[in-house]
């Protein structure tokens, strides 16, 4: 017997409009989207009282898992509870598919970096196999190409089947994210990783190491990732030359370009442009780089990521205008679930609704998951669209 739920009186975010209407969920899948407040006849349901309703979100870039695995400097937490806590926070923020970012390679010379990263990846796979998680979890390897051992660490993940995305990043001071070396100094000293007296020597050392390793590691990891069928992203490209290098390596996603020039070049090369929602919520980049809101206004922003605050995307989507009125497509639709894009999961809108098992109801101060009855925490995406669905 079919189970139906109707979510009525909602502002439903579609490809190119926000529709005041109702969503019918049948057997855990979105079966109909109707204008007006009545919705489909039959089924239990809720009156959302004008809340925004969006499909379950796909998260491409979140560093949040590592904060659970290492809640204090030098303190390790058991990886399975860390993954469960991370999953609960993301699900509570409307995320139904997440690419968990795991860093490999470190500029700080941590001996335990590979062990920590592998333990998290294995914990994710174990939790998925055991059915412990609400969201669908895949792995995003963030590859610090300036570090000497990154290529060897990358090979260690050959046995992890859920690795689908790799990003090429270089946090060497004096370029990209840290073109302003003072920003690098504030970050490192503020996190207690080096003293003020030692920061100058550290920066010189890191620049020397990067000069030797960054380019060959970037090329090697791009080749290995491509051979495995993984999607490639470039992190913090700042110049046209950076973007051209990325494009030549097969990069399809531009994560957090640090300048308007780089964002325009990424657009010309057909790369999907991702920026962090905290950048918009806070009013700018913490490193002094281009503001995400500027790129949004220029039409140079495709996807928002939660980055380091899981609920940031819901907050951004619900406060996209000064008056809190109709949100822009870029603010909500670019946050929403996608199906066939550069990461294997796509652009938002009716196509996303056709695939959604859960949805997310948002007000300016809240974001709550709406799911099919009896299975509120199963966010598995079906392999086929429901009959009558409009799938691009």
Q: Kindly tell me if the per-residue pLDDT of 100 is higher than 90.
A: yes
Phi, psi of 57 (to 5 degrees): -85, 145
CA–CA separation, 336 and 303 (whole Å): 8
Q: Give the chain's radius of gyration (CA, Å).
A: 21
Rounded to 5, what percent of the chain is helix, strand, coil? Answer: 35, 25, 40
**In terms of C-beta density within 10 A (0-12 exposed, 13-18 middle, 19 or more buried), how is residue 60 classed?**
buried
Per-residue confidence band for 202, with pLDDT thresholds at 50, 70 and 90: confident
Which pTM value belongs to this model? 0.79
Q: Burial letters for 307-344: b for 16+ Cβ neighbours within 10 Å, e otherwise?
A: bbbbbbbbbbbbbbeeeeeebebbbbbbbbbbbebbbb
Tell me the pLDDT band of 354, cut-offs 50, 70 and 90.
low
CB neighbourhood size of 159 (10 A): 11
| 141-200 residue pLDDT tens | 999 999 888 999 999 999 999 999 999 998 887 778 777 777 778 777 776 677 787 777
DSSP line for 364-383: SS-EEEE--TT-TT--PPPS
- pLDDT the model gives residue 108: 65
Q: Which residue did the predictor score with more confidence, 67 or 107?
A: 67
The Cα 48–Cα 124 span in angstroms is 34
Instruction: Look at the domain 56-355 and name its fold.
Output: TIM Barrel (3.20.20)
Angle at 123 between CA 144 and CA 133, to 5 degrees: 115
- Per-domain residue ranges of the chain: 56-355
Which residue, 203, 110, 96, 189, is CA-closest to 148?
A: 110
Higher pLDDT among residues 350 and 240, named by residue = 240
Neighbours of 257 (CB within 10 A): 31
DSSP line for 174-227: TSGGGSSHHHHHHHHHHTTSS-GGGHHHHHHHHHHHHHHHHHHHHHHHHHHHHH
């Amino acid at each position: 017997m079919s189970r139906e739920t109707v979510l009525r009186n909602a502002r439903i975010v579609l490809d190119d409009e926000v529709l005041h209407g109702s969503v019918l969920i049948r057997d855990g899948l979105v079966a109909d989207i109707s204008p007006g407040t009545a919705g489909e006849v039959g089924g239990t349901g809720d009156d959302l009282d004008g809340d925004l309703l969006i499909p379950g979100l796909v998260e491409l870039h979140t560093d949040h898992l590592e904060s659970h695995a290492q809640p204090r400097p030098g303190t390790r937490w058991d990886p399975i509870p860390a993954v469960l806590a991370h999953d609960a926070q993301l699900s509570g923020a409307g995320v139904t598919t997440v690419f968990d970012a795991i860093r490999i390679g470190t500029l700080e010379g941590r001996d335990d970096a590979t062990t920590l990263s592998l333990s998290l990846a294995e914990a994710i796979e174990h939790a998925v196999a055991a059915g412990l998680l609400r969201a669908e979890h895949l792995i995003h390897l963030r590859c610090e190409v300036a570090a000497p051992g990154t290529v060897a660490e990358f090979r260690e993940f050959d046995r992890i089947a859920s690795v689908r995305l790799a990003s090429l990043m270089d946090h060497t001071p004096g370029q990209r994210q840290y073109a302003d070396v003072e920003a690098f100094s504030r970050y490192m000293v503020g996190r207690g990783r080096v003293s003020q007296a030692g920061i100058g020597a550290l920066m010189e050392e890191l620049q020397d190491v990067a000069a030797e390793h960054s380019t060959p590691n970037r090329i090697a990891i791009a080749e290995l990732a491509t051979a495995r069928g993984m999607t490639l992203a470039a992190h913090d490209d700042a110049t046209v030359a950076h973007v051209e290098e990325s494009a030549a390596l097969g990069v399809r996603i531009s994560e957090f370009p640090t300048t308007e020039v780089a964002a325009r070049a990424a657009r010309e090369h057909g790369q999907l442009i991702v920026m962090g929602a905290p950048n918009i919520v806070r009013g700018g980049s913490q490193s002094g780089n281009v503001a995400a809101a500027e790129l949004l206004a220029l039409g140079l922003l495709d996807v928002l990521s939660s980055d380091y605050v899981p609920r940031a995307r819901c907050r951004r989507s619900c406060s996209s205008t000064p008056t809190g009125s109709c949100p822009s497509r870029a603010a909500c639709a670019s946050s929403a679930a996608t199906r066939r894009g550069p990461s294997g999961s796509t652009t938002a809108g009716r196509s996303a609704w056709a695939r959604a098992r859960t949805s997310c109801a948002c007000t300016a101060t809240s974001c709550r998951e709406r799911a099919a009855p009896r299975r509120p925490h199963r966010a598995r995406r079906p392999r086929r669209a429901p009959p009558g669905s409009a799938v691009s």
